Amino acid sequence: MLDRPIQFLKGVGPARAESFARLGVRTARDLLYWVPRRYDDASRVDPIRTVEVGMDVTVVGRVLSKGIVPTRKGLRIFQAVLQDDTGMITASWPGQPWLDRKLEKGDLVLVSGPVRFFHGRQIQPREMTVLARAGKGDDADVTGTIFVSYPASEEVPQWVLRTVIARNLDALLEQAREHEECWSRTELGELGLLGLADALEALHRPTSLDRVEEGRRRLAFDELWFLQLLQARARHEAVLSAPGVVFERSNRLIRPLLESLPFSLTDAQARVLKDIVGDLGSGRRMSRLLQGDVGSGKTLVALFAMVLAVESGYQAALMAPTEILAEQHTRRMGELLEPLGLEVELLTGRLNTAERKRVLGRLASGEAPLVVGTHALIQEGVTFARPGLVVVDEQHRFGAHQRLRLTAKGAAPDMLVMTATPIPRTLVLTAFGDMDVSK
């Protein structure tokens, strides 16, 4: 039932279904998960009688009368008199005469905004929600202690969403209880979570703001859980589904590079390099995130990994987010690799046609073992003879598709991602769950 088109639900039909589709609601499941964006506690709604000039208030009232008031300067002001059980007040919308077509006498509305004095008390709403239409028979939708506001549109206003959801919610929740729950009662108890149907009911029919938070917590947990499952699948595909390159360390280049440095590696660099060397020699595809402050020596660690790839007969590429950074990497790496007789090619959009053709030819033939570039590395026509390692500098500046396009240049090249952006561990595990992490 949850997969059925929304047009077959009560109160929808073919014409209204098209409007719902443009809003993003196409199936019964979409409607069930179309949860409110805002909640107003009725106990915190101000009785109109208590509203005073200078206050910032939220009131709920029926539209007693309405109309457009012109001014001497030509400004047209829409005004509506709102009434609740305690009194009446005027709500004023300067420059919004079109609201006269949107509101009807008898509509129940929730408005929030400051109270001014102009021929008496006036609310100048910054936000308005139509809770119920006059004569539509949906007063039952607004009973209780919490008012809900859904993401709506001009075609599908609040009152339509409220009415359709109210008419179908019980049946949708029953389907959710039977077919959507993926956790046992024992597991839910251990996790301290509501059942899925109970969580959705708490969001659509809240009895308190605390209950709303319980419902949100359950949906948020599910989102993070399934994200982790997708990350685990991505990790499997990236690391295990395709055999990685087996890098064989001979020290033919690594040792001379280490000995030529005018300084020693830090303990952190040595530790991280050990992790990377272990990955490169494992035969499984490496997918590792390297975190470190600016100036901490991440690029030097990446250079050792790239040299190990060359030592094993493969090519290595480093993709930088800007041409300036790519040029800096090329220059610095070239200085460090000069004693080894290794050259680093540069591939950016600034190259002229002849130079670009030369670099592309050397990459395709395998004559160029090392290359640094920008997005130019992932353009059509760039091929590698034996790609073994891809290094991406500043992951957050590249989209996932760009990263994947670069790794697609070879059968299963290893991947090392560097970032200087401080990322909390919990966020790392969420956003980079498909990668090992070194700091």
User: Domain locations in the chain?
Assistant: 41-135, 181-235, 254-438
Mapping DSSP to helix (H, G, I), strand (E, B) and coil, where does residue 103 land? coil
Share of the chain above pLDDT 70, in %: 87
pLDDT value, residue 396: 46
- At which residue do the structure tokens 């609310």 appear? 123
Quickly list DSSP for 162-202. HHHHHHHHHHHHHHHHHHT--S-HHHHHHHT---HHHHHHH
DSSP 288-353: EEEE--TTSSHHHHHHHHHHHHHHTT-EEEEE-SSHHHHHHHHHHHHHHHGGGT--EEEE-TTS-H
Distance from C-alpha of 411 to C-alpha of 399, rounded to nearest angstrom = 21
Beta strands (DSSP E) in 377-413 are 387-393
The reported pLDDT for the residue numbered 435 is 63
- Whether the predicted pLDDT of 424 surpasses 70: no
Phi/psi region, residue 277 (left: phi>0; alpha: psi -120 to 50; beta: rest), is: alpha
Q: Which residue has the higher pLDDT, 295 or 57?
A: 57
> What per-residue confidence (pLDDT) applies to 432?
56
Q: Are domains 41-135 and 254-438 of this chain identical in fold?
A: no
Q: Under CATH, to which class is 254-438 assigned?
A: alpha beta
**pTM (2 decimals)?**
0.59
Res 198 pLDDT > 70: yes
Query: Has residue 367 got a pLDDT over 90?
Result: yes
Mean pLDDT within 80-101: 92
For residues 432 and 97, the model is more confident at: 97
Task: Report which of 205, 206, 198 is spatially closest to residue 177, judged by C-alpha positions.
Answer: 198
Rounded mean pLDDT of 38-60? Answer: 88
pLDDT at 230: 79
pLDDT of residue 294: 77
Lowest mean pLDDT among 232-241, 278-287, 317-326, 359-368: 232-241
Cα(265)–Cα(212) distance, integer angstroms: 53
- Residues 121-175 pLDDT 10s: 999 998 888 888 877 644 444 545 688 889 988 889 888 898 899 999 999 999 9
pLDDT of 326 reads 93
Whole-number pLDDT of residue 202: 95
pLDDT of residue 404: 58
From CA 56, how far away is CA 347, in angstroms rounded?
A: 59
Question: DSSP strand E in 71-187: where?
Answer: 76-83, 88-94, 108-117, 121-123, 127-132, 146-149
- What's the mean per-residue pLDDT of the chain? 86
pLDDT of residue 403: 53
- Read off the pLDDT of each residue in 46-71 and give the average, rounded to a whole number: 92
CATH number of 41-135: 2.40.50.140
Higher confidence at residue 113 or residue 430? 113
Q: How many CB atoms within 10 Å of residue 277? A: 16
